[in-house]
């Protein structure tokens, strides 16, 4: 059985990517299982999805902790210790990262167990779809091609099946062209077999009945949302051009998260620790003096 784990952010189509890969595997004659795992819908927040592929019935359930193939749609997640996308990967795990960096560059930054595969999917999605952040088709195609056991025609059929009812015909055609482009840009890999670990039973936990005032939580502390730094949800970051900014403060008024402050000179200042990268400020700026920068490229400025 091949186990694939996807990492990305809400809004990138990570759940759909796992569905396309599962459907493509099914079309190629395999048993398949796919499902996502995330909390409340939050655009930009990290999510994870899973696909299992096997020639025999799949009886295993639950998240994949030790994947054969790891597909990382957003390289900025590698900096997030809470997400820890490389958790469970070992020397036998094939790791793919959507990145503009070379394999050597990204290996110097992060502790990959083996050299990762790299391709800039965002750039290709921008070229074909006009939306660089929609990775569903691209990431599923990368997975199918790397596995090497899924035919292109079965993958194309899966894209039609999963996206055909929600997209206009011309947009679906662009997704099919993107699929063919990425499929021919990557090479299949040999997926090493992982040893099957025997399941160990867990000790039975005895739950005792306790009075309500002891069992139910009572929260007396004030709200602490300000302490939750959501800046790592960002796929794109706004950058204010202060040489041209005329301090109209439209961005300050329109920011839905209240992450733009006013400094002592009356200029808007973005709080990057909490800005989620919705880019409404850039859209609303009358003079277009707020640039949109890919987060992986602007994070070190």
Pinpoint the alpha helices (H) of the chain.
14-27, 103-109, 121-129, 136-147, 152-163, 169-183, 212-215, 250-254, 280-284, 295-298
- Domain end position, chosen among 134, 169, 185: 185
Q: Do 133 and 40 belong together in one domain?
A: yes
Residue 208 domain-assigned (yes or no) = no
Q: Do 137 and 240 belong together in one domain?
A: no
Residue 275 domain-assigned (yes or no) = yes
Q: How confident is the model at residue 299 (pLDDT cuts 50, 70, 90)?
A: low
Q: 284 versus 196: which is more confidently predicted?
A: 284
Strand pairing partners for 8? Answer: 47
- Domain end position, chosen among 185, 208, 237: 185
Q: How confident is the model at residue 195 (pLDDT cuts 50, 70, 90)?
A: confident
Q: Do 128 and 265 belong together in one domain?
A: no
Looking at residue 209, its pLDDT comes to 83
Looking at residue 301, its pLDDT comes to 62
pLDDT in tens, 22-77: 999 999 999 999 999 887 667 788 899 999 999 999 998 889 999 999 999 999 89
Residue 192 domain-assigned (yes or no) = no
pLDDT at 197 over 80: no
Residue 212 domain-assigned (yes or no) = no
Query: The domain containing residue 235 runs over which residues?
Result: 225-297
pLDDT in tens, 264-276: 999 999 999 999 9
Helix, strand and coil content of the chain, in percent to the nearest 5, comes to 35, 15, 50
By percentage, how much of the chain surpasses pLDDT 70?
Answer: 97
Q: Do 10 and 153 belong together in one domain?
A: yes
pLDDT in tens, 120-175: 999 999 999 999 889 999 999 999 999 999 999 999 999 999 999 999 999 999 99
Looking at residue 44, its pLDDT comes to 83
- Domain end position, chosen among 153, 169, 185: 185
Residue 199 domain-assigned (yes or no) = no
Residue 193 domain-assigned (yes or no) = no
**Is residue 95 within 8 Å of 117, Cβ to Cβ?**
yes
Instruction: List the CATH number of the domain containing 232.
Output: 3.30.70.20
Looking at residue 35, its pLDDT comes to 94
* DSSP category for residue 45: S
Residue 169 domain-assigned (yes or no) = yes
Number of domains in the chain: 2
Q: Do 86 and 232 belong together in one domain?
A: no
Contacts of 93 (CB under 8 A, 6+ apart): 66, 67, 68, 69, 70, 113, 114
Gap between the Cα atoms of 237 and 260, Å rounded = 13
Q: Do 27 and 163 belong together in one domain?
A: yes
The model's pTM: 0.79
Q: Do 49 and 171 belong together in one domain?
A: yes
Looking at residue 242, its pLDDT comes to 96
Residue 52 domain-assigned (yes or no) = yes
Q: Do 73 and 138 belong together in one domain?
A: yes
Q: Do 178 and 242 belong together in one domain?
A: no
Q: Do 9 and 153 belong together in one domain?
A: yes
Instruction: List the CATH number of the domain containing 89.
Output: 3.40.920.10
Q: How confident is the model at residue 207 (pLDDT cuts 50, 70, 90)?
A: confident
Structure tokens at 85: 């996308």
Q: Do 6 and 135 belong together in one domain?
A: yes
**Is residue 10 within 8 Å of 44, Cβ to Cβ?**
yes
Q: Do 162 and 243 belong together in one domain?
A: no
Gap between the Cα atoms of 163 and 175, Å rounded = 9
């Amino acid at each position: 059985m091949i186990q694939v784990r996807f990492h990305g952010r809400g809004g990138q189509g990570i759940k759909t990517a796992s569905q396309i890969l599962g459907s493509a595997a099914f079309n190629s004659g395999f048993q398949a299982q796919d499902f996502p795992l995330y909390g409340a819908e939050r655009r930009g927040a990290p999510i994870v999805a899973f696909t299992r592929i096997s020639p025999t019935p799949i009886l295993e359930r639950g998240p994949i902790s030790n994947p054969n193939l790891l597909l990382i749609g957003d390289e900025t997640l590698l900096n997030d210790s809470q997400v820890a996308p490389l958790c469970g990967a070992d020397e036998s795990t094939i790791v793919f990262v959507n990145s503009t960096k070379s394999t050597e560059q990204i290996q110097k930054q992060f502790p990959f167990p083996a050299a990762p595969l790299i391709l800039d999917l965002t750039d290709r999605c921008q070229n074909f779809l006009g939306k660089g952040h929609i990775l569903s088709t691209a990431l599923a195609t990368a997975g199918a091609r790397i596995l090497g056991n899924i035919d292109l025609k079965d993958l194309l059929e899966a894209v039609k099946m999963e996206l055909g009812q929600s997209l206009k015909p011309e947009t679906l055609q662009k997704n099919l062209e993107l699929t063919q482009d990425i499929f021919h840009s990557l090479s299949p890999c040999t997926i090493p077999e992982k040893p099957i670990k025997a399941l160990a039973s867990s000790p039975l936990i005895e739950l005792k009945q306790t009075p309500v005032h002891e069992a139910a939580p009572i929260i007396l502390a004030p709200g602490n949302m300000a302490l939750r730094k959501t800046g790592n949800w960002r796929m794109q970051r706004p950058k204010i051009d202060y040489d041209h900014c005329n301090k109209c403060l439209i961005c300050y008024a329109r920011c839905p998260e209240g992450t733009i402050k006013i400094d002592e000179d009356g200029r808007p200042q973005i709080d990057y620790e909490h800005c989620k990268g919705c880019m409404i400020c850039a859209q609303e700026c009358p003079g277009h003096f707020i640039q949109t920068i890919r987060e992986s490229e602007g994070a070190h400025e």
